[in-house]
Amino acid sequence: MTATLLTNARLIDPDADTVTEGAVLLRDGLIAEIFDQPEPQVADADRIDAGRAFLAPGIVDIGVKVGEPGDRHKESYKTAGLAAAAGGVTTIVTRPDTDPAIDTPEVLEFIRDRAEDDAPVNVLPMAALTKGRAGREMTELGFLLDAGAVAFTDCDHVVTDTKVLSRALTYARSLGALVICHPQDPGLSKGAAATSGKFASLRGLPAVSAMAERMGLNRDLALVEMTGVRYHADQITTARALPALERAKKNGFDVTAGTSMHHLTLNELDVSDYRTFFKVKPPLRSEEDRQATVEAVRSGLIDIIGSFHTPQDEESKRLPFEEAASGAVGLETMLPVLLRLYHSGELELPTLFRALSRNPAKRLGLASGRMAKGAPADLVLFDADKPFVLDRFKLQSKSKNTPFDGARLQGKVLATFVAGTAVYRSA
Amino acid sequence: MRFDQRHLLGIEPLRPDEITTLLDLADQYVTLSRRREKHSNVLSGLTQINMFFENSTRTQASFEIAGQRLGADVMNMAMQASSIKKGETLIDTALTLNAMHPDLLVVRHPHSGAVDLLAQKVHCAVLNAGDGRHEHPTQALLDALTIRRAKGRLHRLNIAICGDIAHSRVARSNILLLQKMENRVRLVGPSTLIPAGMSEFGVEIYDDMRKGLEDVDVVMMLRLQKERMDGGFIPSEREYYHRWGLDADKLSHAKPDAIVMHPGPMNRGVEIDGTIADDINRSVIQEQVEMGVAVRMAAMDLLARNLRARPTELSA
């Protein structure tokens, strides 16, 4: 296998919290060497001049929905993989909220095979915590772990029966498995399509108090204290949930939290005249909540940012807001969209990649997510300034449901490397 | 006199001068409607379709009469009985309609925003006859006309809107309209039926109805839906009536010449005492129904003028 030398790059190191000029040698799927001069001399390596573009550890996106099995017309492993590659995502961690749910080792093996055949990026599957995500009986956590499940989650289905959940968490604890929950009080949030407040009242939409997230999180954290499980909250999106998270971390529980690209860059007012592409779960929040969430990412209280890539076809979105499906595609748009926070001065690039690459890899026990010698050569090369107008029909995903259609964005992926091989090069 | 709207989807997009224009024209239609010969031909040659995805007797009848008085060809489609049951989407319904070339489309739908969605897809003028909990613009306009005729003005009035604000599109449209015309609006009702964030609208909120009615010029009662009684939002019908039902005692806190309004249909003995509803010195509930026809005639007339001013669109 030939080596590749990326010269003249600005290297983002989330561990050191630095951006430095240099070059990187990729060999045998690994980062073989990092040079602090931009144009080092290396024998028998293909040279790629990065032209002072940024080079960062590839994104590890936890919580990607692929439509296999059940909804292949919305997204296949092939299209999700292409979208990921085009977006600088080198590892997708897939959700089990498929049809049927990924709740047996057999289904898990099926999708692993599909992913291996079709996707140009790393695919790691998650499995359901309870059978059929119905919240009644735990799945075969041990078999699923052996079959390659990297975490267990019922996605947006909250396990309402705390006895069922506490047993599942206790069992998962004995296996050392990571459990991902959706902190949301199920009663309060039932039927909600928006966050309660002036906007939802004006639009006449059924709404949920932002407090439902804190209530869900508090319950989960009590169960974490009880069981000692490794716990990750999929999306924290409100200011009022943050103190509980901070307390749990201070008390030494094995707790991490994520948030979504949408909650960091949009607020409830973006829904405007019932634009269903802005309907996500949990619903978009107030501007105050958005700012608090960004600050929590900056401080490290929120560990991980994900796209929560949720492909939906046109029919399921072309409905009255209440009836329309939730979710947005994000694999390809996440980096340029989040660069808005870099351009606005809200987040520095090493901070961004700490949440996009380093922390999710660390949480899943992966070797990737680092700009270090010996780490997997999963990298993204991008121009942070290049402006463009997003055209949803040019996205690689089968589904085009992005809220950023027509948005003016700055920042484009130039190349994505997985194990040292370029899986995407911009035209 | 200007009215620059292509559709009437809500009060929110209307300017105060457009509201005045519409109400002035509606006044003329009140006069016309009171004549023996009530016919005009301003909508002749135009096709009006009333599409109701939710049951309605009065609003649908009011739109139908308004259209017929102005000479339109009116057709009613009861949608809950038709294609919706067969799984047709709203967009498909819109495309089907386009092929029939209607000029005015009157729509009621149980979901907020559904009428906006339909308006984006059809070529004709759309009138919102109520969408979910969002807006019911012609109801607010007929209320405004009723107030203006009873009080001689539509500004600097104290107006209390009482009851189930949370589920009411009538309340939302009225709040928006009355504030645009520079009135003081109070909301009176149990806190479970006052939606979140309402204080940010610049309205005053009262739990105590007697205090809420203090010195108001207009008392607007809202209907309490039967399914919202009994434990869900309020403890019981009788407790609701005791605390928020409009009776003579509570009304005595309002100005002596305060008028009483209700969008109908009324639940006598739940939100309003029957004798007050029937008191011709206080209640303008019958006038509201009359104004409803006139306001809908005016709205359709104005939209039709804008329709005729545009070049004929090629159908897609």
Question: Each residue of A113-150: pLDDT tens digit?
Answer: 999 889 999 999 999 999 999 999 999 999 999 999 99
CB contact under 8 A, B116 and A203: no
Mean pLDDT of B82-107: 81
pLDDT computed for residue B230 by the predictor: 55
φ/ψ bin of A296: left (φ > 0), alpha (ψ from -120 to 50), beta (otherwise): alpha
pLDDT computed for residue B316 by the predictor: 39
Chain B positions touching A204 (Cβ under 8 A) are 112-113, 131-135, 169, 172
Q: Where are the alpha helices (DSSP H) in A119-236?
A: 141-146, 162-175, 186-189, 198-203, 211-227
> Is pLDDT at B231 greater than 70 in this prediction?
no
**Chain B within 8 Å of A202 (Cβ-Cβ)?**
yes
How distant is the alpha carbon of residue A116 from its chain centre? 20
pLDDT computed for residue B312 by the predictor: 63
Residues B10-29 pLDDT 10s: 999 999 999 999 999 999 99
What is the least distance, in Å, from the CA of B12 to any CA of chain A? 9
> Is pLDDT at B226 greater than 70 in this prediction?
yes
**Chain B within 8 Å of A323 (Cβ-Cβ)?**
yes
B283 in Cβ contact with B248 (< 8 Å)? no
- How many Cα atoms occupy the beta-carbon half-sphere of A238 within 13 Å? 23
**Confidence tier at B315 by pLDDT (50, 70, 90):** very low
- Residue ranges and CATH numbers for the domains of chain A are 60-363 (3.20.20.140)
Mean pLDDT of B197-224: 95
> Is pLDDT at B83 greater than 90 in this prediction?
no
Long-range contact set of residues B251-255: C-beta below 8 Å, sequence gap at least 24: B251/B213, B251/B219, B251/B276, B251/B282, B253/B210, B253/B211, B253/B213, B253/B214, B253/B215, B254/B160, B254/B213, B254/B214, B254/B215, B254/B216, B254/B217, B254/B219, B255/B158, B255/B215, B255/B216, B255/B217
What is the least distance, in Å, from the CA of B117 to any CA of chain A? 7
Examine residue A100 and say whether the peptide bond preceding it is cis (omega within 30 degrees of 0).
yes
> Is pLDDT at A245 greater than 50 in this prediction?
yes
Q: Could you give the CA distance from residue A25 to residue A6 in angstroms, rounded to a whole number?
A: 6
> Is pLDDT at A83 greater than 80 in this prediction?
yes
CB contact under 8 A, B90 and A319: yes
CB contact under 8 A, B196 and A273: no
Q: Which of A203, A279, A288 to mutate to test the interface with B (most CBs of B within 10 A)?
A: A203
**ipTM score assigned to the predicted complex:** 0.85
**Chain B residue closest in CA terms to A323:** B111
What is the least distance, in Å, from the CA of A312 to any CA of chain B? 16
Q: Could you give the CA distance from residue A273 to residue A277 in angstroms, rounded to a whole number?
A: 11
What is the least distance, in Å, from the CA of B207 to any CA of chain A? 18
CB contact under 8 A, B111 and A207: no
Neighbours of B200 (CB within 10 A): 12
> Is pLDDT at A361 greater than 60 in this prediction?
yes
Chain A positions touching B12 (Cβ under 8 A) are 202
**Chain B within 8 Å of A199 (Cβ-Cβ)?**
yes
Task: Show the tokens assigned to A104.
Answer: 């047996």
b/e for B33-65, b at 16 or more Cβ within 10 A?
beeeeeebebbeebbbbbbbbbebeebbebbbb
CB contact under 8 A, B113 and A318: no
Chain A and chain B share a number of CB contacts under 8 A equal to 73
Chain B positions touching A320 (Cβ under 8 A) are 90, 109, 111-114, 117, 132
**Confidence tier at A393 by pLDDT (50, 70, 90):** very high
